[in-house]
A and B are shown apart, each in its own frame.
Chain A
């Protein structure tokens, strides 16, 4: 038995551990959310910050340092903003939202506008972003949790991340790895918002990278029966309105906007037909051109036929940023394959779609989706 006063005092002493742990988490900053204190051998090598995409990106935006935005899904996320800088003479932020829908693009775009004097937008728009079966409430819990704050343009605090058991575990992990001189290899967002696949780069250097396995894994992410990105694809007019609003607001605010459909590896393109989504894929393009012209990089072409240009079936390697941006910004000095990227307008849309339909090859999606192989 101990006295009542002693019990209470000891309980309070124990609970003081909470702010101490929070402070430790703040300084170690295992996911690189604040980068306030970086000490070699303590916390210079960190875990990924991509688990907190929206916090990280909105935190960067509130500094008001950017005049150019790259908008879209992770396919634009892997593109290098510094390449865009060379064309816009500005400071570009990659506001990629992974696997997102246009509603999220619109809200993030408005958020960026609130804090930054945006003059240019490069918008990589994806077919997946119009799947009405995927909603903020059911599919994007992380964004949904911050939805009101993002929609209201509020600054997002990270203090709750420091009062967190997972962060605490990560802090000890980071501390251990740094103290024992072991480098943590993890996917990361740079300060300009670009997504870097450090783990792929590392395994490529070690010779252990398998494109086929990554590709199979990606196909599973897109088509699996549980939460595949294309599952129950249902083209959403509502999501088109968000896209349209972004273009409209760019016009109203004298923001230059470049729109493109990112390239996908040729098998990914073929798989849309196998999955029965090709009509909707064409509808997506037809509806898009009613709002704005765009460059379409999909289909079979010199770049998409070469797996060395991709990390998986959906994501280009960063070196391809130059080619993409050269085509988008119509850089005559660049050596771009002729078949890579077609400017789509209301006048040529049908010819273009007919041409692409002719490129589609038969693809055994079921075989690819054998999850055992992907693992």
Chain B
């Protein structure tokens, strides 16, 4: 079930909310937890109930392993062996569903074989619940999870606001909240905050991201024909689509969780304001960065063993981060580019390099925008075609109206007709992109809005209109980008 669907907004959410708090009001605490678990599983199964046994098996396995790991003494195997075994099983599960075909394709290519592909459907949210549970296993190994009941653990993993696309939450920040008696009662402030955040997130997704989405899709479909302006509109449209889509989803998740008195961690902090690539990764998909840092970068040695080792660790972390997003060489390259950019940034800082803020932002934003092209493109060649267009190799076309005034540009290959035809171009794209820049660079982000939230008519009207306009624009229900990852 999508957050931006009628069945979720008008049926699932109100019913779940009312029954959950009614059960708590009647002091049926355990029942309310089971109800929340059931609701989350129903929410998950709405797409395809066939995925449910996979997720339930994963939950059961990790809970049992987590419980064993919290014991001082284990039979037969050392705790470290059990931890490694558990993590390997999780990675194998993820790898089987997500990377089998990618692996087989590469085997076929490298050894000229013809092994048939499996064409497995990727179980929804598997990347997210796998990471979340690996973190839990590590905590269990550190004896930090003792005493959690299976129902609590299951609610923590499946809690529907964060189940499908994060934020990737940690048991330390979630389970105590479910245990807190105060959170079992209606909290009007949290409800108001939750409605506010949900409305803003819905608006970001439905009105902003989906508008850019159409332009990005058409541009990448026509990659080989894109002229300079078309290619830049395409790449910027995707850059904005991705941000508004994913951060819109996160805002909705945060808002929904608040309705249940659960505070989810922030996941975005105005990432396109970043003035370095390091700054960017402190602002973009923060909970993923946190996971990669705690469970890959630091265990690899982090920055403890000298510069060369640190650079290697950064590269490994980001290449793995790239492939986590999808099974394809374009994702590997995207991760590699970001790893390389971080290494470059570290070296630059070590030699005392400094840039004016505007230039640092300009370089960072353009790097991110260009690297998203690899992230979005389905094939390497498609990415190169878009980038060729952005570099001007496919020429520049301008409106016919400029043909006379700018005629002196014609000898340089500038043409004056069909200037945005390949992307079904409309002049409205330019103000939209300008608005996109203004919002990401000069507006408060959602978490800042949440922190500064005031119960007044302004916030009420703003949230109501955002909700109203979004709900009335839902006729093209579209999935969130991060569902694919």
A→B interface (CB under 8 Å) = 1-5, 7-8, 10-11, 14-15, 17-18, 21, 138, 145, 159-161, 163-166, 168, 224-227
- Contacts A4-B188, A4-B455, A11-B195 given; indicate if A163 touches B472 (C-beta within 8 A): yes
Residues of B53-108 whose CB lies within 8 A of A: none
B456, A8: Cβ atoms closer than 8 Å: no
Instruction: Give the residue among B454, B455, B459, B469 with the most A Cβ atoms within 10 A.
Output: B455
Among listed B158-166, B267-275, B416-424, interface-contacting one: B416-424
10 CB-based A-B contacts, threshold 8 Å: A1-B454, A8-B191, A8-B195, A11-B195, A11-B463, A11-B464, A11-B467, A14-B464, A18-B472, A164-B474
Min CB–CB distance B107 → chain A (angstroms) = 29
A1-B454, A7-B192, A226-B422 known; A164 and B468 CB under 8 Å?
no
- Give the Cβ gap from A160 to chain B, nearest Cβ, in Å: 5
Would you give the shortest CB distance from B278 to chain A, in whole angstroms? 39
- Report whether B473 and A11 are in contact in the complex, using a CB–CB cutoff of 8 Å: no
Q: Is B471 an interface residue (CB 8 A)?
A: yes
Cβ of A360 to closest chain B Cβ, rounded Å:
28
Task: List chain A residues, Cβ under 8 A from B421.
Answer: 224-226
- Which residues of the other chain, A, contact B476 by a CB distance below 8 angstroms? 145
A3→B6 CA distance, assembly (Å): 29
By beta carbon, the residue of chain B nearest A18 is: B471
A2-B474 contact given A8-B188, A225-B418, A227-B424, CB 8 Å threshold: no
Main secondary structure of the interface of A (DSSP, over half): helix
A11 partner residues in chain B, CB cutoff 8 A: 192, 195, 460, 463-464, 467
Contact of B460 among A2, A159, A164 (CB under 8 A): A2
Docked CA distance A226–B421 (Å): 6
B192 x A4 contact (CB < 8 A) = yes
Chain B residues near A166: list those with CB within 8 A.
475
Chain A residues with CB under 8 Å of B422's CB are 225-226
- B464: chain A residues at CB < 8 Å are 10-11, 14-15
A369 CB, min distance to chain B CBs, angstroms? 11
Complex alpha-carbon distance, A4 and B192, angstroms: 7
Residues of B within 8 A of A164 (CB): 472-475
- Beta-carbon nearest neighbor of B469 in chain A: A165
Closest residue of A by beta carbon distance from B457: A2
B189 in contact (CB, < 8 A): yes
Q: Which residues of A contact B459 (CB under 8 A)?
A: 7
A368 to chain B, nearest CB (A): 16
CB pair A160 B455 closer than 8 Å:
no
Q: Is B221 an interface residue (CB 8 A)?
A: yes
Known: A1-B455, A163-B6. A21 touches B192 (CB 8 A): no
A168's nearest neighbour on chain B, judged by CB, is B472
* Chain B, residue nearest A13 (CB): B464
The 8 closest A-B pairs by CB, nearest first: A14-B464, A4-B188, A165-B472, A226-B421, A164-B475, A7-B192, A160-B475, A7-B455
Closest to B467 in A: A15
* Cβ–Cβ contact B468 & A15, under 8 A: yes
Closest residue to B465 on the A side, CB-wise? A14
Chain B residues 110-131 with CB under 8 Å of chain A are none
Q: Which residues in A have their C-beta under 8 angstroms from that of B457?
A: 2
**How many angstroms between the C-alpha atoms of A72 and B4 in the bound complex?**
36
Interface residues of B in 219-265 (CB under 8 A from A): 221
Residue of A3, A159, A226 touching B424 (CB-CB under 8 A): A226
Q: Tell me the minimal C-beta distance from B203 to chain A in angstroms.
A: 12
Give chain B residues whose Cβ lies under 8 Å from the Cβ of A4. 188-189, 191-192, 455
Q: Which residues in B have their C-beta under 8 angstroms from that of A8?
A: 188, 191-192, 195
The minimal Cβ–Cβ distance linking A143 to chain B, given in whole angstroms, is 14
Distance (whole angstroms) from the CB of A165 to the closest CB of chain B: 4
Once the chains bind, are B473 and A165 in contact (CB under 8 Å)?
yes
Smallest CB-CB separation from B187: which chain A residue?
A4
In the bound complex, do residue B6 and residue A160 qualify as a contact, i.e. CB atoms below 8 Å apart? Answer: yes
Contact residues in A for B424 (Cβ distance below 8 Å): 226-227
> Could you say which of B454, B455, B468 contacts A17, with CB atoms under 8 Å apart?
B468
Interface centre among B188, B421, B460, B472 (most CB of A within 10 A): B472
Nearest-Cβ distance from residue B93 to partner chain A, whole angstroms: 29
Residues of B within 8 A of A7 (CB): 192, 455, 459-460
Residues of chain B within 8 A of A160, CB atoms compared: 6, 474-475, 477
A169: nearest chain-B partner, CB-CB: B472
Bound form: Cα–Cα A136–B418 in Å = 25
A18 touches B475 (CB 8 A): no
Complex contacts, B456 vs chain A, CB 8 Å: 1-2
Kindly report which residue of chain B lies nearest to residue A10, judged by CB atoms: B460
Chain B residues, Cβ within 8 Å of A15: 464, 467-468, 471
| Contacting residues, chain A, for B474 (C-beta < 8 A) | 160, 163-164
CA distance A161 to B474 in the complex (A): 9
Q: Which residue of B lies closest to A138 (CB)?
A: B221
Extra A-B contacts (8), CB below 8 Å, given A1-B454, A8-B188, A160-B477:
A2-B457, A4-B455, A15-B471, A160-B474, A164-B475, A165-B473, A225-B422, A226-B424
Determine whether the beta carbon of B475 is less than 8 Å from that of A161.
yes
* Bound Cα distance A11, B475 (Å): 22
Residue of B nearest to A19 (CB): B10
Most chain A CB within a 10 A radius of its CB, from B188, B454, B469: B188
Closest-by-CB residue of A relative to B472 is: A165
Across the interface, name the chain A residue whose C-beta is closest to B461: A14
Q: How far is the CA of A14 from the CA of B418 in the complex (A)?
A: 44
A288 to B422, CA, bound (A): 33
Distance in angstroms from B76 CB to nearest chain A CB is 50
> Contact at A14–B468, with CB atoms within 8 Å?
yes
For the complex, what is the distance from the CA of A68 to the CA of B463, rounded to whole Å? 52
Give min CB distance, A12 to chain B, whole Å: 9
- Give CA–CA (A227, B225) in the complex, Å: 13
Residues of chain A contacted by B191 (CB below 8 angstroms) = 4, 8
Assembled-state Cα–Cα distance A5/B189 (Å): 8
Knowing A11-B195, A21-B472 touch, does A2 contact B418 (C-beta < 8 A)?
no
Within the complex, which residue of A5, A163, A224 is in contact with B471, where a contact is CB–CB below 8 Å? A163
Q: In angstroms, how far is the closest chain B Cβ from the Cβ of A367?
A: 15
| Alpha-carbon gap, A161 to B475, bound state (A) | 6
- Which A residues are in CB contact (< 8 Å) with B471? 15, 18, 163
Would you give the shortest CB distance from A222 to chain B, in whole angstroms? 15
